[in-house]
Amino acid sequence: MNGDEWLENRRVVNKYLLKENSEKIFENPVKNTIHELLQKWINETKKGFYVPNLETEFYRLSIDVIISAMLGSSISHKFSAHSDALLTAFAEEVKKIFQTTTKLYGWPVNMCQKLNLKAWRDFKKSVDVSLFLANKIVEEMINIKKPKDGLINLLIEENLNPEIIKRIIVDFVIAAGDTTSYTTIWTLYLLSKNKDVRQELFKKNSIIGYAIKESMRLYPVAPFLTRILPKECIFGAYKLKGGTPIIVSIYTSGRDEQYFSKATEYLPYRWDRNDLRRKELENHVSSASLPFALGARSCIGRKLAMLQMTELITQIVQNFDFECINKDEVTTKTSQVLVPSQEIKLSFSLRKTVSE
C-alpha cells in the first residue's frame, strides 16, 4: 500500500495501536501467551539448569503474541495449538528471508534477476513460501469466531475491505519475529553481563523501560533508517533534490560520545530524568537513538512490542537467575537486522524465592 490508500488504513490501525493507552486492549492476550512460555521454563529449571534456544523460543513467542493480539484472549491459545506445525514452518521461512537478503546487499534487483543468482533464487523462494503460509494463517484466523478484544474483530467493525484486513495482518505476522525477539535477546545478554543492573531491576521493575531503551541504543535491531526526501532540502552544506534516498546509521549515532557520554556502557539510568546519576553524564541527545524510527512511517507495532518485551523480561528477571555461557566474545553482524555474531547462550536457574 502507498499514498492515500496507505494513509487511510494507517489512520484506522493507529487508533488501536498508537493512541494513548491503546495497548491496554492487548494486555491479557500478551500476558497469557508469555505466562505459558515461562511456565515451561520454570518446569524445565526445576530439573536443574536450563539453556533454551533463545532465538527459536522468542521467535515463535513473538508470532504467538501477534496472533493473540489479533484474535483476542479466549481463542488464540486454541488456534496456536491447532496450527502449531503451520506456525513453526512459517517462522522458519521468515528467518530465511533475513538470512538470504544479507547475501544480496549491494546487488541491483534487475541484475540479480538477470543473472539468476542462487542467493536471489533462495530469497525469492523464501518470500513466496512465507507469503503463502502467512496468507494461509491469516485466512484461518479471519474465518474463526473471534472475541471482541482481538484486532481483527476491531478492524472488521471499521468496515475495512476484507482483503485490506488480510494484507494488514500478513504484514504484522511477517514483521513480528526478528525485531522483538532479537531486542529481547540483546537485553537479556546485557543484563547477564551487568548483574548490578539486573539486581536493580529485580528490586524495582519500574525501570524495565529504561533497560530496554538502553539495549536498543546499543543494539538497534534495525541499524539503519532509510527515507526518500519528499522535496528539496538543505542539509548543512548540501542541497539535496526531492526523491533523494537518505540512509542514517542509528547504530553509529547511538554509540557516538558527542550524543551519549560513556556511549559503550550499558547504563539504563541515562534515560531516567529522576535518577541523580544522570547528572554525571554530560551528553544525552535522545533523538540520536530512534529504534522505532520517527514520524508518519514510524513502527506501528512499537507499543505492542514494548508490552511484550516489558512483560517477558520483567517475568524472567523476577523468576530466574541467568548467566552468559558463551566462551568467545559476542559481537554483531547484519542479517537484514542486527543479530549476534554467534548464538547467545544463557543458562537459567530458578531464583531461590521461586524454587522454595
**Binding-site residues:** 299
CA 46/CA 40 separation, integer angstroms: 10
Backbone angles phi, psi at 224, to 5 degrees: -125, 140
- Find where cell 517477558 sits: 312
Start-to-end Cα distance in the chain: 54
- Positions at the binding site for heme: 299
Q: Are 310 and 208 in contact (CB under 8 A)?
A: yes
Q: Are 255 and 263 in contact (CB under 8 A)?
A: yes
Q: Are 57 and 37 in contact (CB under 8 A)?
A: yes
Q: Are 61 and 339 in contact (CB under 8 A)?
A: no
Radius of gyration of the chain (CA): 21
232's grid cell: 528539496
Distances (CA, A) of 32 to 145, 303, 308, 318: 19, 17, 11, 17
Residue 340, helix vs strand vs coil: strand
Per DSSP, the chain holds a count of helices (H) and strands (E) of: 14, 8
